[in-house]
Amino acid sequence: MATDVVRPRDLEELAGAVTRAAGHGRSVRARGSGHSFTAVGAAHDVALDLGDWTGITAADLDTGLVTVRAGTTLRTLNAELDRLGLAMTNLGDIDAQTIAGAISTGTHGTGARFGGIATQVAGLELVLADGSVVACSADELPEVFAAGRVALGALGVISTVTLRTEPSFVLAAEERPEPLDEVLEALGENCAGNDHFEFYWFPYGPNALTKRNNRLPAGTEPEPLSRARQFVEYELMENRLFGAVCRLGRRVPKLVRSLNKMSSNVLSERSYRDASHRVFVTNRSVRFVESEYAVPRAALGEVLAELRTRVPRLADPVMFPVEIRVAAADDIWLSTAYQRDSAYIAVHQFTGMPYREYFDLFESIVAEVGGRPHWGKMHTLDAAALRERYPRFDDFVALRTKLDPTGLFANPYLDRVLGRLG
């Protein structure tokens, strides 16, 4: 727990808080929205709460370049971009994260031709351990830029993020249950033939819930689901009813397999079109724990085949579905998709139910194909294991040692995954 929480209102206060902490030999961490499943953001001495450091500071409607303060949540960002006639190219499932928190852990959505949120970053402004403020981009301090977009808060405090946005667009959404075997047979076509393809697989049921979101030409009018249908299908079925089913499964574990199968059978079909951010983002009120790994896209089939065979044999049953997404290779040193077209496999368990054996099994399967863990989700890897999975790992560590020699921004999670400093 942080002993001091500082809430800077401008860049001077932000840099001042970093310098003061350094002067007193105390560590400092910036806080996002606290939506990571790991202790990546844990602050032990000084926590920087950026809740007063929000909003867009510059927007160029011709180039789409938009600069935003680090503490801005994606929800606020999407609303402000919408008002400007702009949008993010791709987003994850929820919008509660801050922009700095989201990019720092490599938050991503889905789409074989698209990268995670950090790939939409054109520039960063950072406060370094010595209190200096630097800007980086592909042309300015390119190494800091290559490392700094997914940096777990280890290189400095991000003060602003400049994003490459695009004109607002509408997505056509198609969601339906399909036999898992058919989804897997057509996996290549599904990923290549849709802008944003993903699916959920219930481990004891025959069906997957597929989601295909495709970009529509400029000027297409939205046709959202009626408010009543949104309430019934998303709020009642996917949140309240699913939450009640999960609670029942937690109380009576021997029912979990049939409840999970039933959940896979009652999935409904729907299609609608809406502003991109309203399609990407869903409301999630059922609490869960999660681990997610990126694997080479070509290895997805074999990983899923292993999970299908071995998950039903686990002693403790699994209540939540597995989520599968894809992303294009990128050039960010600690990005889970660094230099490889990736498939993301996310395993979840309802809060309060046993998950260790399940997550251990999952980690052992993805280890066989060089899986890379999401930095904000549960995993057990340390620096020695991660070095093997990231070609630029040592370059990242060298840059961190140069920028933060005494470990001002360190915490126990970073000690484990990057190594100790100082």
Ligand X SMILES: Cc1cc2nc3c(=O)[nH]c(=O)nc-3n(C[C@H](O)[C@H](O)[C@H](O)COP(=O)(O)OP(=O)(O)OC[C@H]3O[C@@H](n4cnc5c(N)ncnc54)[C@H](O)[C@@H]3O)c2cc1C
| Spatial strand order in the sheet of 28-31 | 4-6, 46-49, 28-31
Q: In whole angstroms, give the CA distance from residue 380 to residue 413.
A: 11
Which range, of 32-40, 219-227, 264-272, 347-355, touches ligand X by CB under 6 A?
A: 32-40
Q: Does 87 bind ligand X (CB under 6 A)?
A: no
Other C-beta atoms lying within 10 Å of the C-beta of residue 56: 19
Amino acid present at 114: F
Applying CB under 6 A, does 158 fall inside the site for ligand X?
yes
| Burial call 258-271: b when 16+ CB within 10 Å, e when fewer | ebbeebbeebeeee
Query: Which of 27, 33, 90, 120 touches ligand X by CB under 6 A?
Result: 33
Give the binding-site size for ligand X (rule: CB under 6 A): 31
Residue type present at position 76: T
Site pattern 234..263 for ligand X (x: CB under 6 A)? ------------------------------
21: contact with ligand X by CB under 6 A: no
Q: Of these, 8, 17, 22, 32, which contacts ligand X (CB under 6 A)? A: 32
Least gap, CB of 243 to ligand X (angstroms): 13
403 forms part of the interface with ligand X (CB under 6 A): no
- Tell me the per-residue interface mask from 95 to 124 with ligand X, x by CB under 6 A, - otherwise: --xx-xxx-xx-xx----------------
- Write down the residue that tokens 């970073």 correspond to: 414
Cβ distance to ligand X smaller for residue 35 or 75: 35
The answer to whether 359 touches 336, Cβ cutoff 8 Å, is no
Q: Which stretch binds ligand X (CB under 6 A): 30-38, 137-145, 205-213, 267-275?
A: 30-38
Please name the residues in contact with 291: beta carbons below 8 A apart, sequence gap of 6 or more: 37, 346, 347, 359, 362, 363, 373, 374, 377, 378, 379
* Residue 94 sits in the site that holds ligand X (CB under 6 A): yes
In three-state secondary structure terms, 323 is: strand
Among 7, 20, 26, 35, binds ligand X (CB under 6 A): 35
Q: Which is nearer to ligand X, 54 or 261 (CB)?
A: 54
Q: What minimum distance in Å lies between the beta carbon of 81 and ligand X?
A: 17
Q: Which helix (H) or strand (E) holds 183?
A: helix 180-185
Choosing from 17, 28, 50, 68, the residue that interacts with ligand X (CB under 6 A) is: 50
CB of 266 to ligand X, least distance (A): 22
Please state the separation of Cα 351 from the chain's center in Å: 19
Which of 2, 18, 22, 40 contacts ligand X by CB under 6 A? 40
Q: Tell the smallest beta-carbon distance from residue 74 to ligand X (Å).
A: 8
User: How far is Cα 336 from Cα 87, in angstroms, rounded to an integer?
Assistant: 24
If residue 133 lies in a helix (H) or strand (E), which one and from where to where?
strand 133-137
- Is 345 a binding residue for ligand X by CB under 6 A? The answer is no
Q: CB 348 → ligand X: shortest distance, Å?
A: 10
| Residue nearer to ligand X on the CB measure, 36 or 165 | 36
**Residue 213 φ/ψ, nearest 5 degrees:** -115, 120
Side chain identity, residue 188: G
The verdict on 376 binding ligand X (CB under 6 A) reads: yes
Q: How many other CB atoms are found less than 10 A from the CB of residue 55?
A: 11
Count other C-beta atoms under 10 Å from residue 219's C-beta: 7
Which parts of this chain interact with ligand X (CB under 6 A)?
A: 29-36, 40-41, 50, 70, 92-94, 97-98, 100-102, 104-105, 107-108, 152-153, 157-158, 284, 374, 376
